[in-house]
A and B are shown apart, each in its own frame.
Chain A
């Protein structure tokens, strides 16, 4: 059965800390891995990763994919209270033309002032 596992499930840090969120997957027809930030209801797109070893970076956030070991990490440096959210990892299951996203349960990040 296809699955995506995120760890930790929750994390509490203080402003200025650096955090690493983990995502491992077992998906039969892997096409790409996506990270989303969910603050209220709508997941907001962060990164899409398709190739191993190529870091994607946006401000204080960065992510990398390892297709051999089947995992990805999302790093956030110098965390701010506005980073508090649920971070979702999803793998695009490619069957036919386009596929559906298989999500992990998310990591709930709380950044305290």
Chain B
């Protein structure tokens, strides 16, 4: 079946603009995660959804970042008033979200490379 998909693959914007990044998880996966990866670093957790609700948003850096998952499938990460420091690859992952080890494996999408000029 299809893996995690993310759009756009690349996004170039100007400082101060608003951007939306989309993630379509693997069908049947109830858990969805957003991570951010800067050059030379491992991915850093931003937010995790179980179904429609944000179960943990402790990784969001500030209130310019917001994410939604209104129907429990597709998720959108929204960044307001973008800053140059927001430039990174934004990765989305999904998992079964079961209360057992098989639900632990997170499968990643190809990411969106965001460049803020």
Q: How far is the CA of A50 from the CA of B103 in the complex (A)?
A: 12
Q: Report B-chain residues with C-beta under 8 Å of the C-beta of A19.
A: none
Q: Is B89 in contact with A32, judged by CB distance below 8 angstroms?
A: no
Interface string of B69-97 (1 = CB under 8 A from A): 00000000000000000000101010101
Give A37-51 interface residues, CB cut-off 8 Å to B: 40-45, 48, 50
Asked if A90 is an interface residue, CB under 8 A from chain B, the answer is yes
| Further pairs besides A88-B42, A96-B55: 6, Cβ < 8 Å | A41-B113, A42-B108, A42-B111, A97-B55, A98-B50, A98-B103
Q: How far is the CA of A33 from the CA of B105 in the complex (A)?
A: 10
Query: In the complex, which range does the number of interface residues on chain A fall in?
Result: 20 to 34
Q: Is A103 in contact with B104, judged by CB distance below 8 angstroms?
A: no
Q: What are 6 A-B residue pairs whose CB atoms fall within 8 Å in the complex?
A: A32-B104, A42-B110, A88-B43, A95-B56, A96-B56, A98-B48
Q: Is B113 in contact with A50, judged by CB distance below 8 angstroms?
A: no
Q: Is A34 in contact with B104, judged by CB distance below 8 angstroms?
A: yes
Least CB separation from B41: chain A residue: A105
- How distant is B85 from chain A, measured CB to nearest CB, in Å? 19
Q: Is B106 in contact with A101, judged by CB distance below 8 angstroms?
A: yes
Q: How many residues of B contact A (CB 8 A)?
A: 32
Asked if A92 is an interface residue, CB under 8 A from chain B, the answer is yes
Least CB separation from B103: chain A residue: A98
Q: How far is the CA of A50 from the CA of B108 in the complex (A)?
A: 20
Known contacts A34-B104, A103-B43, A103-B44: does B99 contact A97 (CB below 8 Å)?
yes
Q: Is B108 in contact with A97, judged by CB distance below 8 angstroms?
A: no
Interface string of A28-69 (1 = CB under 8 A from B): 000110101000111111001010000000000000000000
Q: How far is the CA of A69 from the CA of B110 in the complex (A)?
A: 34
Q: Is B101 in contact with A48, judged by CB distance below 8 angstroms?
A: yes
- How distant is A58 from chain B, measured CB to nearest CB, in Å? 14
Q: Report B-chain residues with C-beta under 8 Å of the C-beta of A98.
A: 31, 48, 50, 55, 95, 97, 103-104
Least CB separation from A106: chain B residue: B42
